[in-house]
Structure 1
Amino acid sequence: MTTQPAVQLRDLSPAAAREHDSSNIMHDAFEASQDEGSATRARESNRQKALVILGTAISQLPIWGFAMSYGVFQEYFSGNWTLQGSRDVTGIIGTTSNGVMYLSMPFLFALFTKHWAHWRQTAAFAGAVLAGLGFLLSSFSTHVWHLVATQGVIAALGCALMYSPMTLSLGEWFTTGNRALAYGVALSCKNISGSACPFLFRFLLEQYGLGTTMRIWTAMAAVSGAVSIFLVPAHPSSLTPTETHRARRMPLHFLKHRTIYVYAIAIALQSSGYGISQTYLNTYAHDFTMLSQNSATLLLTLYNIPGILASSFFGYLADTNKRFVLSTTTVTAISAFGSALSALLFWGLTSKGNMALLAVFSITFGFFAGGYSATWGGIITDFEREAANGNEAIDSGLMYGLLNGARGVGYVSGGLASVSLLKAGTGMALSSNGHFGLESAYGPLIIFTGLSSAFGGWAVFWK
């Protein structure tokens, strides 16, 4: 039996042997072309992912540059008030801007996740135009409510219209275990913008005033926004025929689970305190700590810089298949409790003229609180795992939009509460003449920030 194959090969005619060899060569060539095609597609996919990351990174400047630097404007108004109306109203512009952006995201994410996926880039361009219009109109403001309407609402809606479709596409290009890290990298670039823009706005305000500053910012936002939108197309998987998506009902099974409500409440509470510190840090440094305008601006930069590292770090911790195995609830708790301690100890115990301790607060709070939203990739993974266990459908883009909506609720509620808290603190400070931050007019704001930040990690107790 061992010689039978050899006999059969010897019995082949020369023509048959040549045909056999040709067949093997063609098969090998086909496999080689398949391998080469797979390698080419992999390189193209990696190149496209790199462009998506780059475009998303650039987009953080026009979307978040103003909102994250509003404390500079708040402090500028304290010594350069030329508008009609109460100056106290300016305290809600920054939180309103963030709140409007985040509150609109659940609807925008739901709209562009599948049904209108092919309109994402068009919508992002429309958002860039709307944001530019809002910033430009604000340069002609004569009354404080004009700023609330243009900067806090119109420009914010435009920024949200840019952010939502681009973030959906980012999540679709990174659907594996590195999604949270991709979100973290994007958020790191958001904090880069938040670190650089305060100095930019401070320089422009001192040199040209409010009107020209907003016109220059309009041009910068328009150019960077257009470039970023070109670089972030929708993923091919989302561009299937729209009739298919119209026929498919939006999966709402997650509403039956407790997890979404636990995380939504935690995010809303954490964001309410985060927005207050972001808005009032500059004013506190100037009014209570008696620091110069440049020093106050430096504190806001120190506040945003740690988020560059924190976003990637907490995104890495929240990812699956990693070296350090931590649950998402544990990672959110680390971020929440760390920022709470920072607010109550470092901010609360600062005294007049003590820039060092206020700088420590800016760095530590900026690190722990700034990385909180980077854990959302892990939260969505928890949602997906829970849905898989129940054999239920889930729309990850919609879930991310809802988490942003909870953040918007926190920003708006924190902004509204801050006005009353500051008034209450002013009365307490006049009667106590305290020397520490907790005893100042900002004492109630500091306590609120610390407690709300701590409750941002309460999901760990529900685990």
Structure 2
Amino acid sequence: MSSQSHDNLRVGVEPAGFDRDLSKEVAVEDDIVSLPPPPLKDGGLRAWLQVVGCFLVFFNVWGFTFAFGVFQNYYETHLLSSSTPSEISWIGTLASYLLIVIGIISGPLFDLGHYRIMLFGGAAMSCFGIFMLSLSKVYYQIILTQGICTGLGCGVLFIPGMALVSRSFNARRAVALGLVSCGAPFGGIIYTIVFEQLIDSVGFAWTVRVMGFIMTGTFLAAFPLLLWGASNTGDISSGTTRKLFDRAALKDVGFWFYTGANFFIFTGYLVPFFYIPSYAQLSLGASRALALYSVVIAQGSSVVGRMIFATLALHIGVMIPWVMCASVSAILCLAWIGIKTKAAFCGFCALYGFFSGALIPLPPSIFPVVCPDPKVLGTRLGMAQAIGATASLIGSPIAGALVGDNGQHYIGLQLFSGLVMLIGTAFQIFLWINLVKKRNCKVSV
């Protein structure tokens, strides 16, 4: 396979609902057809301002979700102490599930030119959910506000944000989307620090309201960056109705290997982020401050990991970094069983954040190779994401149910997260073999 075709396998994240502009080439029945590059300018000031705006959106959309570990710890020890860890984790997993699965609808709506309405509506719903959370005192109120309301609001913003940036970049698309995705760990860090610094002095209600003010302010700052003078938010669908389901994908072995890998990896991926604060405080006897800052350590190292592995993928292909990150993350979850000291625990948090951070941006980067037909690319990626979202929904509650009755025995949770991620790694290897043998891809892919 030519070096030119090899470069085509190192593409940026392609969101659901976005038709990839094949600027280099596409595979048609195992043959490679070269296409001329599009005349569109790659980037520019307007495009980079949108990168900053989407960074701020992801700061809230994923940042607040990644900070759920501090809420899990607080709910277990204070506000919802009568509920089990599994019951509490449903709040965070429901929000993350809706965040991803709503992309099946928001992607096509973006293509039909409804981005402005979704941007304002999603931001308003997310902020409303946070402020209503500050008034919540019982389980059903919290799951309605933090789980459903914020999940729906953030879900409307996630995929359209990725699609907006993707429309403005070709060669630098992976870099642009990598920078956008870094908004997630930055948001997680800021929201975690705010929670830790304010919870004792002002209480839960006002701590959450301050978070709501931060979310409102960052959304207001993002609006002009995303919309002012922008020409890439309109309808480019040419009246074509986008399918939400492609039956032919069910007969594609590569699609099922990709989907299986994502499903099992994401079943275990969020478990450490949700439970490391409560593990540090209840099992290691760490202070609440150290327990909460363990999330900051993991999020901070994930910023470095995302950028390093995204850059590595541009040079050696996506599969090698993806398999490496998933397998090492799984091994770290199993090694977590043997951690007995606070210093070793901090090291685990840093390493897990570093290797697991790239598991978000890397999978969609390989999908155009799994599905080389641009006509169904968005549809099939949306289908795969919906299944992966289900894994995020059930993973942490299952892990929480495996925690001992006194909340101090986490070996079941640690084994579960590590083993399911190892199963996901096996599916990655099957996918790798399928791409190399069936689709004439190079070994690095």
Q: Residue 255 of structure 1: CA displacement?
A: 4.6
Secondary structure at the residue paired with 1:348? helix
Structure 2 counterparts to residues 187-198 of structure 1, below 5 A: 187-198=181-192
> In structure 2, what is the equivalent of residue 139 of structure 1?
134
Q: What is the distance in 1 between the residues matched to 2:76 and 2:245? A: 49
Q: 1:342 aligns with which of 308, 332, 336?
A: 332
Q: 2:83 aligns with which of 78, 81, 86?
A: 86
Q: 1:414 aligns with which of 395, 399, 405?
A: 395
Residues 339 and 350 of structure 1: is their aligned pair in 2 closer, same or farther, counting only changes over 3 Å? same
> In structure 2, what is the equivalent of residue 30 of structure 1?
none
Q: Residue 367 of structure 1: CA displacement?
A: 1.0
Q: What is the distance in 1 between the residues matched to 2:424 and 2:95? A: 21
* Percentage identity across paired residues of the two chains: 21
Q: What is the distance in 2 between the residues matched to 1:203 and 1:68? A: 18
Structure 2 counterparts to residues 108-187 of structure 1, below 5 A: 108-112=106-110, 114=111, 116=112, 118-174=113-169, 176-187=170-181
Q: What is the distance in 1 between the residues matched to 2:51 and 2:305? A: 18
Q: What is the distance in 2 between the residues matched to 1:51 and 1:285? A: 40
Secondary structure at the residue paired with 2:78? coil
Q: Residue 281 of structure 1: CA displacement?
A: 0.5
Q: What is the distance in 2 between the residues matched to 1:348 and 1:249? A: 45
Kindly provide the CA deviation profile for residues 233-262 of structure 1, in whole angstroms up to 9, marking residues without a partner as x: 49756734766224x767935454222221
Q: 2:49 aligns with which of 51, 71, 89?
A: 51
Which has the bigger relative contact order, CA under 8 A and spacing at least 6? 2
Q: Residue 289 of structure 1: CA displacement?
A: 0.5
Q: Given that residues 134 and 204 in structure 2 are in contact (C-alpha distance below 8 angstroms), is that contact kept between their aligned partners in structure 1? A: yes
Q: What is the distance in 2 between the residues matched to 1:58 and 1:243? A: 30
Structure 1, unmatched stretches of 5+, are: 1-40, 430-439
Q: Residue 141 of structure 1: CA displacement?
A: 1.2
Q: What is the distance in 2 between the residues matched to 1:264 and 1:395? A: 14
> Considering only aligned residues, what root-mean-square deviation do their CA atoms show, in Å?
2.6
> In structure 2, what is the equivalent of residue 3 of structure 1?
none
Q: 2:311 aligns with which of 300, 316, 326?
A: 316
Q: What is the distance in 2 between the residues matched to 1:84 and 1:349? A: 27
Secondary structure at the residue paired with 2:284? coil
Residues 178 and 403 of structure 1: is their aligned pair in 2 closer, same or farther, counting only changes over 3 Å? farther
Residues 87 and 421 of structure 1: is their aligned pair in 2 closer, same or farther, counting only changes over 3 Å? closer
- 1:95 lines up with 2:90 in the alignment: no
Residues 249 and 367 of structure 1: is their aligned pair in 2 closer, same or farther, counting only changes over 3 Å? closer
Q: Residue 154 of structure 1: CA displacement?
A: 0.8
Residues 394 and 172 of structure 1: is their aligned pair in 2 closer, same or farther, counting only changes over 3 Å? farther
Q: 1:329 aligns with which of 319, 323, 340?
A: 319
Kindly provide the CA deviation profile for residues 187-243 of structure 1, in whole angstroms up to 9, marking residues without a partner as x: 222112222321111112122111112222222212211322332249756734766
Q: Given that residues 91 and 419 in structure 1 are in contact (C-alpha distance below 8 angstroms), is that contact kept between their aligned partners in structure 2? A: yes
Q: Given that residues 130 and 155 in structure 1 are in contact (C-alpha distance below 8 angstroms), is that contact kept between their aligned partners in structure 2? A: yes
1:65 partner letter: G
Q: Residue 363 of structure 1: CA displacement?
A: 0.9
Q: Which is helix-richer, 1 or 2?
A: 1
Q: 2:344 aligns with which of 352, 357, 370?
A: 357
2:287 partner letter: S
Secondary structure at the residue paired with 1:393? helix
Kindly provide the CA deviation profile for residues 125-166 of structure 1, in whole angstroms up to 9, marking residues without a partner as x: 100111111111111113111101110111111011122221
2:167 partner letter: E
> In structure 2, what is the equivalent of residue 290 of structure 1?
285
Secondary structure at the residue paired with 2:44? helix
Q: 2:361 aligns with which of 351, 374, 383?
A: 374
Structure 2, unmatched stretches of 5+, are: 1-39, 434-445
Q: Which range is displaced more, 354-363 or 375-384? A: 375-384
TM-score of the superposition, structure 1-length normalised? Answer: 0.77
> In structure 1, what is the equivalent of residue 424 of structure 2?
456
Q: Given that residues 426 and 442 in structure 1 are in contact (C-alpha distance below 8 angstroms), is that contact kept between their aligned partners in structure 2? A: no
Residues 413 and 240 of structure 1: is their aligned pair in 2 closer, same or farther, counting only changes over 3 Å? closer
| Higher alpha-carbon Rg | 1
TM-score of the superposition, structure 2-length normalised? Answer: 0.80
Residues 258 and 420 of structure 1: is their aligned pair in 2 closer, same or farther, counting only changes over 3 Å? same
> In structure 1, what is the equivalent of residue 35 of structure 2?
none
1:448 partner letter: F
Secondary structure at the residue paired with 1:371? helix
Structure 2 counterparts to residues 166-245 of structure 1, below 5 A: 166-174=161-169, 176-233=170-227, 236=231, 239-240=234-235, 244-245=239-240
Q: Given that residues 330 and 460 in structure 1 are in contact (C-alpha distance below 8 angstroms), is that contact kept between their aligned partners in structure 2? A: no
Q: Residue 293 of structure 1: CA displacement?
A: 0.7
